[in-house]
Amino acid sequence: MKKEVKFSLVFRDMWQSAGKYVPRVDQLMKVAPAIVEMGCFARVETNGGGFEQVNLLFGENPNKAVRQWTKPFHDAGIQTHMLDRALNGLRMSPVPADVRKLFYKVKKAQGTDITRTFCGLNDVRNIAPSIEYAKAAGMISQCALSITHSPIHTVEYYVDMAKQLIDLGADEICIKDMAGIGRPVSLGKIVAGIKAIKDIPVQYHSHAGPGFNMASILEVCEAGCDYIDVGMEPLSWGTGHADVISVQAMLKDAGFQVPEINMEAYMKVRSLVQEFMDDFLGLYISPKNRLMNSLLIGPGLPGGMMGSLMADLETNLESINKYKAKRNMKFMTQDELLIKLFNEVAYVWPRVGYPPLVTPFSQYVKNLALMNVMQMEKGKERWGMIADDIWDMLLGKAGKLPGELAPEIKEKAAKEGRKFFTGNPQDNYPDALDKFRLLMKEKGWEMGEDEEELFEYAMHPAQYEAYKSGKAKQDFLEDVEKRRMEKKAGTAPTEPQTLTIDVNGTAYRVTVAYGDVKPESQSAAPATPVGEGKEILSPLEGKFFLTKTAQETPVKVGDKVNEGDVICYVEAMKTYNAIRAEFGGTVTAICVNPGDSVSEDDVLMKIG
């Protein structure tokens, strides 16, 4: 009989890989006893990554959710683990050191046992503080190798990285095959290389989409892997994870010691997951995410991003086709846009230095590629719009890129006066907790048990304020109701349709576009009285914000601005895109409320 292999249910990632949201806390508490009853899981991934932002979007307190959700597993002797993004903590952008340190203290107190820390650039400098902070808080520090396939990312590259992490004090190593494109034999060699350095626990995480992962699971187990991340129906396979039933049967046949599965409990969990989908979560899940697709091997986009990607594409497709409709051009289908995006990712990725395609850098590369596609479809140049967060990646502020930037990117940086950074990335982001303490005192907000509310505000300022004001919950409930009504009415057309209408004997050809079109008289009231001046238009669809962080001072009517000044942001695809003044003058009107959705070419501000 071969060694024992244990299973971890990646419940959080199952949902993130399927769509936009995870279950509410009441739903999590409903399913937890049945997961325990299955009797086959040594670990459950309970939180981390997008989990807490989703709670805030629901209008729920994420701290209470984590405490309640982890407790049933602790009571049953099952370890809980979470995903964290090193320098970026639980968000898409870098986090000050004092906020990172508080992060681990809070999560340990809330009941999370293991922190799986990864850097999207595999920069060990970004992971090192997390090892120290996690161990000081009493957590198990599991450090991840972000797996991708490129000329740079060899077996030797990953084994050397693992050695550095082990030398820094990592308790465990995770092979994070976030796109499922790691080649099985190479992954086996990486695990064997790690075990040759030190016999510490190794956990393998992969997604099923490209089709490699069952072979990869067998290879890493043969090489000595200790834990395997698994999913279960109806959210396994496709952009998700291999199902525990199949993995257990395969490993059992191969002679490994694996736990038995209580199938009656499995069916309970399966039914509850379907119940949650039928409630509202399925409204945010694309049917295409249930499919496996070898085309994913090329772009190497991670499974955890594909759920939100398909939702984003609907909006992007609408934007492109609105442009084409105005010019009597042929409309694009979603499949055509997807292929163009995959091809553009393959073009962009080597030119931006081969960052492993994992959060947030997978989003950055995808967003950059998608923005290029949209710009080029509208007759504009490639690289025309690069968000500040993406520039931070390109300039080295988020860590060292594995490869070299293309000359065209370096030339653009020089032309815009952008400076490259080679120091420690953390140095770019000064401590901020004192500022947030002062803000909370001014607002009369409680710091919370173990300062968990302070942590939440410092980690997710904009989302936390929307949660506290009630706007997040209101927006969420309105969006769910809108989607339910659309589903009840039937599927809307996926592209504008040309119809011939007879009016008093004369035939007219008209284009009917999908999506909401509001007459001026029915538009939402502007945030301030509209003054005279030149219009600043939104270059893309998304949500409008005056600031990105609490440290920024929002522009207000009457302020003088110079050409090139950042005056607001449009958040799209998890990235804040800075909107700069195209000319100098005085702000005479702010035409949108913070948090409101805007379409391309909507008037954001006026400058006189």
pLDDT tens-digit readout, 559-572: 999 988 999 999 87
Please report the pLDDT score of residue 307 as a whole number. 55
**Does the pLDDT at position 504 exceed 50?**
no
In the chain, helix, strand, coil percent, each to 5? 45, 15, 35
H/E element, 308: helix 303-326
**Does the pLDDT at position 468 exceed 80?**
yes
Domain 1-491 in CATH 3.20.20.70: yes
**pLDDT class of 500 with cuts at 50, 70, 90:** very low
- 183 Cβ contact partners less than 8 Å away, ≥ 6 residues apart: 149, 212, 216
Dihedral class, residue 170 (left if φ above 0, else alpha if ψ from -120 to 50, else beta): beta
CB 96 within 8 A of CB 128: no
Encoded tokens for 101: 């340190």
Q: What is the mean pLDDT of residues 332-348?
A: 85
**Does the pLDDT at position 509 exceed 50?**
no
CA distance 395 to 461: 25
- At 576, is the secondary structure helix, strand, or coil? strand
- At 536, is the secondary structure helix, strand, or coil? strand
Among 593, 602, 485, residue whose Cα is nearest residue 535: 602
Encoded tokens for 579: 């909107």
Please report the pLDDT score of residue 332 as a whole number. 82
Please report the pLDDT score of residue 302 as a whole number. 64
Please report the pLDDT score of residue 81 as a whole number. 97
Q: Could you tell me the CA-to-CA distances from 123 to 85, 89, 128, 316 in Å, in that order?
A: 11, 14, 9, 32
Among 335, 336, 333, 350, residue whose Cα is nearest residue 299: 350
Phi, psi (5° rounding) for residue 565?
-65, 140
Please report the pLDDT score of residue 243 as a whole number. 97
> DSSP readout, 141-196?
EEEEEE---SSS--HHHHHHHHHHHHHTT-SEEEEEETTS-S-HHHHHHHHHHHHH
Class of 525-607 in CATH: mainly beta
pLDDT tens profile 87-104: 999 988 899 999 999 999
Please report the pLDDT score of residue 280 as a whole number. 92
CB 149 within 8 A of CB 300: yes
**Does the pLDDT at position 518 exceed 60?**
no
**Does the pLDDT at position 275 exceed 80?**
yes
CB 175 within 8 A of CB 205: yes
- 521 Cβ contact partners less than 8 Å away, ≥ 6 residues apart: none
Please report the pLDDT score of residue 587 as a whole number. 93
> DSSP readout, 255-292?
T-B-----HHHHHHHHHHHHHHHHHTGGGGB-GGGGS-
Among 183, 175, 141, 171, residue whose Cα is nearest residue 159: 175
Which of 338-352, 428-442, 511-525: highest mean pLDDT? 428-442
| Average pLDDT along the chain | 88
Q: Where are the domains of the chain?
A: 1-491, 525-607
**Does the pLDDT at position 514 exceed 60?**
no
**pLDDT class of 580 with cuts at 50, 70, 90:** confident
Dihedral class, residue 379 (left if φ above 0, else alpha if ψ from -120 to 50, else beta): left
**Does the pLDDT at position 341 exceed 80?**
yes
How many angstroms separate the most distant Cα atoms in the chain?
84
CB 300 within 8 A of CB 148: yes
- Residue 312 or residue 500, greater confidence: 312
End-to-end CA distance of the chain: 79
pLDDT tens profile 389-444: 889 999 999 999 999 999 999 999 998 889 999 999 999 999 999 999 999 999 99
CA distance 399 to 423: 9
Q: Which of 296-300, 339-343, 365-369, 580-584 has the lowest mean pLDDT?
A: 296-300
Which of 146-150, 159-163, 579-583: highest mean pLDDT? 159-163
Q: Which of 22-26, 258-262, 357-361 has the lowest mean pLDDT?
A: 357-361
Encoded tokens for 128: 């090192």
Share of residues in the chain with pLDDT > 90 (%): 60
CA distance 296 to 289: 12
pLDDT tens profile 227-254: 999 999 999 999 899 999 999 999 999 9
Share of residues in the chain with pLDDT > 70 (%): 90
> DSSP readout, 206-267?
E-STTS-HHHHHHHHHHTT--EEEEB-TTSBSTTSB-BHHHHHHHHHHTT-B-----HHHHH
Phi, psi (5° rounding) for residue 279?
-65, -65
